[in-house]
Structure 1
Amino acid sequence: MYSLSAIFKAVLFFFCIFLCGCAYTTQTYFLPAGIQTVHIATFENKTDQPNIENELRSKIISAFQNDGNLKIVPLSEADAVLTGTVKDYSRQPLRYINNESVREYRLQIGVDFEFNALLENKIIVKENNFFGDSSFYLTGDSVAAERQARCSALDDLASRVLNRIVTLW
């Protein structure tokens, strides 16, 4: 027969294991309780890339819809609004062939954005020089490769914007 002390130690041990398993978590909804809806405004475009602001808006809307924490609504119904500016579109060489010509590029898209609570007229999140990136190789159709990298960089940027707004690490 087991002693009461041994049973207590076993229960305490499993309780400690349970608590350790729950020690790491991300917290969502660090936003004020009244914010349940958001309007995603079209970002201003200060790059030489036509229509990038509309592509980014579509990607951000999709990211918010997939996340499900905040509902996308028109500005007149919103508790908060996301605004911003696309400021940077750049390609940086990553790899070279024989130290002469570029083989792979990193594509970066940079924005400044604000997430504002409309009722309190308060800035909740403000970020400058916030980037999404991707890379592409210069093989075959380089225009198609860059277009695909642009799509991936916009996906990455939209995901980062969403995570910055709804997740507190």
Structure 2
Amino acid sequence: MVKRLSIAGILMLAVLVAACGYQFRGKQNNLPSDVKSIAIPVFKNDTNEVRIEQIFTDAVIMQFNRSQMVRVVSKSDADAVLSGTVTRVLVDDVALTANDTSRQRRITVWVSAKLTRTRDGKVLWQNKSLWQNDTYAVSASPTVTETNKRLAITALAKVMAQTLHDSVFENF
């Protein structure tokens, strides 16, 4: 009896969710119907962080390819171009040792991005202040600390790529 009630409850919840028009994140496409392909050129880097633009570009391309909502193509074949700039990087100490040396740092990265239709130059979507942060451990070895920082940048680039992707398609 309890099992039947549980199944009935789950089915009713599924019907309610479907009736409300709820959709899972990243599945809605509000782009104009003529935009079926996009180009994602290498982001610009307005910071002193070496190669950060490549990390972010790679993460965004991977996210758009993974979702398969549009084809990622070369600029000459694209219906729209998603351009981006890594505008700012800030690193702060968030945890100190007893000797007041850094034990953990937080890196925050800001990105500006826009999607422009190629045939008429119309900006379809834009956000000038996307940001994301992550923390990483500081080691006595500068090499280990730099590796940890790179791993944090890569992780936050993946999260930002998902946010950027969802924003483009859902027009937030």
Q: State the TM-score, normalizing by the size of structure 1.
A: 0.81
Q: Is the 1:133–1:156 Cα contact (8 Å) retained in structure 2? A: no
In 1, the alpha carbon distance for the partners of 2:99 and 2:129 equals: 30
**Could you tell which deviates more after superposition, 24-33 or 95-104?**
95-104
Q: Pick the structure with greater CA Rg.
A: 1
From 7, 23, 26, the counterpart of 1:25 = 23
In 1, the alpha carbon distance for the partners of 2:60 and 2:108 equals: 16
Cα RMSD between the aligned structures? 2.4
**Could you tell which deviates more after superposition, 62-71 or 154-163?**
154-163
Partner in structure 2 of residue 56 of structure 1: 56
Q: Is the 1:109–1:157 Cα contact (8 Å) retained in structure 2? A: no
In 1, the alpha carbon distance for the partners of 2:70 and 2:162 equals: 14
Paired residues, number: 157
Q: Is the 1:132–1:160 Cα contact (8 Å) retained in structure 2? A: no
Map 1:3-152 to 2 at 5 A: 19-22=15-18, 23=20, 24-26=22-24, 28-98=28-98, 100-139=100-139, 141-152=144-155
CA 1:147–1:18 in structure 2 vs 1: closer, same or farther (change >3 Å)? closer
1:63-113 superposed Cα distances (whole Å, 9 cap, x missing partner): 111111010011111111011211111212222334833322111221111
In 2, the alpha carbon distance for the partners of 1:154 and 1:79 equals: 25
Spell out structure 1 runs of 4+ moving beyond 4 A.
15-19
Amino acid at match of 1:147: R
Partner in structure 1 of residue 160 of structure 2: 157
Structure 2 segments unaligned to the other structure (5+ residues): 1-10
SS of 2:34's equivalent in the other structure is coil
Q: State the TM-score, normalizing by the size of structure 2.
A: 0.80
